Amino acid sequence: MMKTLPADLAGIVNALCIDVATPRALSIFILIKYGEWDELSNLRVHPEHYDDAHSLWCDTTVTELLRKCEDLPTSFSKREAAEETFLLAEKQCFSSNLRLERLLYPGDFTHSASDLVTRSVFERARVIVSDTLGPFPASELDGRFGPGATFGDKGGRSTIPDKMSSRPTLTPSSWTSLSSWKSTAWARACAVDGRLLETVRGNRFTTVPKDCTKDRGIAVEPSINVFYQLAIGKLIRSRLHRLGIRLTEGQDIHKRLACEASTEGHLATLDLSNASDTICRNLVEFLLPPSWFSVMDDLRSHFTLFKGHNILLEKFSSMGNGFTFELETLIFQSLVTACCELTVDNPFVSSFGDDLILPTSCSKDVIAFLKVAGFTINPRKSFVSGRFRESCGGDFFDGDPVRGHYLKGYPSEPSDFIALANGFKRSSGIFPERFRTVYRAWRKCLDCIPVEIRSCRGPEILGDLVIHDVEQRWSYRQRNSIRYFKVWRPSRFRKVPWRHFSSDVTLASALYGLGSGDSFSLRFRTPWRSCGVSPRDSVLGYKVGWVSYS
């Protein structure tokens, strides 16, 4: 039996396709009608085929709305696709390690003139990395907890007190970090409870949802490893400021640069495929100062538990490692800058993970050089000419934003339909003709929301607590200069009571900064010990409330 979209969503999408009224919209309408989900998920919009921003935005809006929806009933084996990607990345890293060993390390190899030039770029990149990082500050290595799961802490049991209540895990090489770990409140809580350390060979491969065609492969790290990996990531992040790379603001900066580049054409935007999984060991060892490499190599996982077998990794670190994002930003910033310096004095280069922005005049050389370094350019998301640029979720055609709204899953709750309606509104931006195009779909989203909740309307700055609308329709009360907006907000949270944790774990949690903030007693105005800690995705219910905004 052919699977169909939920009736509410089908009505919204059909209205959108009819009002967009382009050949692409007709194609999507037909594919949905006949349940051709695989073909729908493989549709792409090619900006170079368009002459104006409005036409590109229309086709992007109808094409991208469902393309990444995890609930779309495609026939793809999502986990198998992620597993295949993992193995292909390891194969690519193996080849890169062999190639770079010949190129970067002295020996009996004969080097051509082009090899010598390439090696000089790598050497210049190593100088940039060294100048950026400086000496390794061992005294600053204060471990940190992250929000995600670890090798021994799965699912919803991954809060900080959960991690301090389970048996700590670590790899054999990370024993060097134990001298500092033994002085932590975490270690003291383990000692009181008699919990011994568990040594594991490496991390564990798993997958998380990505889109309707494949899952995303990640590696779940041992708890002590990731505790110090996050500390390393924080150190690298602070050092990146020396290069002018502010990761906390990086996405907004890249969006602004992509907008300017789409008009002026002076900058290219590049994106890499599986970037973090294709950073090979030899590249990191060559670029990093020995003191930094030694610590990071000890703290990374050398093996991945994959389908019951421990695989020796050719990559240096994967998604899930606490310093991977900062490390890849540093590596790409240094490699691209060193390559651009061959032809441009003081080139402007900006990296945010594998989102790269660089002078258009250098793009050809950079693409060739990154291939030698072991990386693969994603041609669908890389732009070196024309009037379109894309970076960090910002898509621009000749200065106008043209990004559509992506639906991650089927909407079912009022909060889902509010988010979808706001997605149409945000995508329309300041252009009245765009909002006229999506108006019926926007109205159908509102029709799926109960009347009382539908009256929660306010400014975009309040996010999806309200339906974004013109000021005349905002629902608020005003006292003095403060407006109190009617909102649909989370009201019930899943909490793990503190009584389930030992007193030593409770004390250690407080020392790590818990005990105040949204997840604890200040929210509920109740004694701290009688409350609990909220895990990720802990919202259980919503209600109408009021939020102040000046």
pLDDT of residue 521: 39
Cα 317 from Cα 310, distance rounded (Å): 15
Span 19-33, average pLDDT = 96
Burial of 541: CB neighbours in 10 Å, binned 0-12, 13-18, 19+: exposed
**Which residue bears the tokens 């949204």?**
518
* Residue predicted with more confidence, 456 or 481: 456
Residue 438 and residue 523 in one domain: no
Residue 285 and residue 357 in one domain: yes
Asked whether the predicted pLDDT for residue 447 surpasses 70, the reply is yes
pLDDT of residue 347: 95
Structure tokens at 230: 């996050």
Instruction: Calculate the dihedral angle through the C-alpha atoms of 324, 327, 328, 333, rounding to the nearest 10 degrees.
Output: 160
Strand ranges (E), 374-518:
388-391, 394-397, 400-401, 457-458, 467-468, 476-479, 482-493, 496-497
Range scoring the smallest mean pLDDT among 153-167, 196-210, 297-311, 450-464: 153-167
Helix, strand or coil, per DSSP, at residue 436? helix
Bridge partners, 217 (sequence order): 207
- Provide the whole-model pTM: 0.92
Q: What percent of the chain has pLDDT over 70?
A: 95
**Phi/psi-derived region of residue 403, left when phi > 0, alpha when psi is between -120 and 50, beta in every other case:** beta
Residue 186 and residue 229 in one domain: yes
Residue 216 and residue 264 in one domain: yes
Residue 292 and residue 439 in one domain: no
Span 265-270, average pLDDT = 97
Helix (H) or strand (E) holding 327: helix 324-340
pLDDT of residue 110: 58
Residue 121 lies in a domain: no
Residue 173 lies in a domain: yes
Q: If you average pLDDT over every residue of the chain, what do you get?
A: 91
Residue 511 lies in a domain: yes
Cα 248 from Cα 319, distance rounded (Å): 19
CA 459 to chain centre: 26
Residue 261 and residue 361 in one domain: yes
pLDDT of residue 82: 95
Residue 147 and residue 296 in one domain: yes
Residue 333 and residue 443 in one domain: no
Residue 58 lies in a domain: yes
Instruction: Calculate the dihedral angle through the C-alpha atoms of 307, 311, 316, 317, rounding to the nearest 10 degrees.
Output: 20
> DSSP state, 404?
-
Residue 350 and residue 319 in one domain: yes
Residue 278 lies in a domain: yes
Cα 130 from Cα 115, distance rounded (Å): 22
Q: What is the per-residue pLDDT across 168-185, written as a single tens digit (0 to 9) for each?
A: 999 999 988 788 898 888
Helix, strand or coil, per DSSP, at residue 170? strand
Q: What percent of the chain has pLDDT over 90?
A: 75
Residue 422 and residue 490 in one domain: no
pLDDT of residue 106: 65
Please report which confidence band the pLDDT of residue 335 belongs to, taking 50, 70 and 90 as the band edges. Answer: very high
Cα 189 from Cα 220, distance rounded (Å): 23
Residue 89 lies in a domain: no
Cα 160 from Cα 267, distance rounded (Å): 43
Last residue within a domain, chosen from 447, 477, 508: 447
Last residue within a domain, chosen from 397, 414, 436: 397
Structure tokens at 80: 């198998």
Asked whether the predicted pLDDT for residue 140 surpasses 50, the reply is yes
Q: Distance of CA 462 to CAs 73, 206, 426, 459, 466, Å?
A: 33, 35, 13, 6, 7
Task: Please state the length of the chain.
Answer: 550
The range of the structural domain enclosing residue 466 comes to 452-549
Long-range contacts of 97-102 (CB under 8 A, 24+ apart): 97/280, 97/281, 97/282, 97/314, 99/372, 99/374, 100/280, 100/282, 100/283, 100/286, 100/373, 100/374, 101/282
Most confident segment among 18-27, 240-249, 493-502: 18-27
pLDDT of residue 169: 95
Q: What residues contact residue 307 under an 8 Å CB cut-off, 6+ apart?
A: 83, 205
399, 396, 447: which is closest to 420 by C-alpha? Answer: 447
Strands 215-220 and 203-209: antiparallel
Q: Is residue 262 within 8 Å of residue 388, measured between CB atoms? A: yes
Cα 470 from Cα 457, distance rounded (Å): 9
Please report which confidence band the pLDDT of residue 536 belongs to, taking 50, 70 and 90 as the band edges. Answer: confident
In the chain, the number of structural domains is 3
Q: What is the largest CA-CA distance in the chain?
A: 80
Cα 370 from Cα 377, distance rounded (Å): 8
Cα 23 from Cα 297, distance rounded (Å): 53
Helix, strand or coil, per DSSP, at residue 12? helix
**Which residue bears the tokens 């993970």?**
353
pLDDT of residue 534: 78
Q: Distance of CA 222 to CAs 201, 254, 327, Å?
A: 9, 33, 19
412, 420, 549: which is closest to 475 by C-alpha? Answer: 549
Residue 496 lies in a domain: yes
269, 252, 241: which is closest to 360 by C-alpha? Answer: 269
Cα 531 from Cα 521, distance rounded (Å): 6
Asked whether the predicted pLDDT for residue 528 surpasses 60, the reply is no
Residue 135 lies in a domain: no
Span 324-351, average pLDDT = 96
Asked whether the predicted pLDDT for residue 453 surpasses 80, the reply is yes
Alpha helices in 361-502 (DSSP H): 363-372, 414-428, 432-447, 451-454
Q: Is residue 406 within 8 Å of residue 68, measured between CB atoms? A: yes
Residue 42 and residue 171 in one domain: no
378, 379, 387, 456: which is closest to 417 by C-alpha? Answer: 456
Residue 371 and residue 279 in one domain: yes
Last residue within a domain, chosen from 424, 447, 470: 447
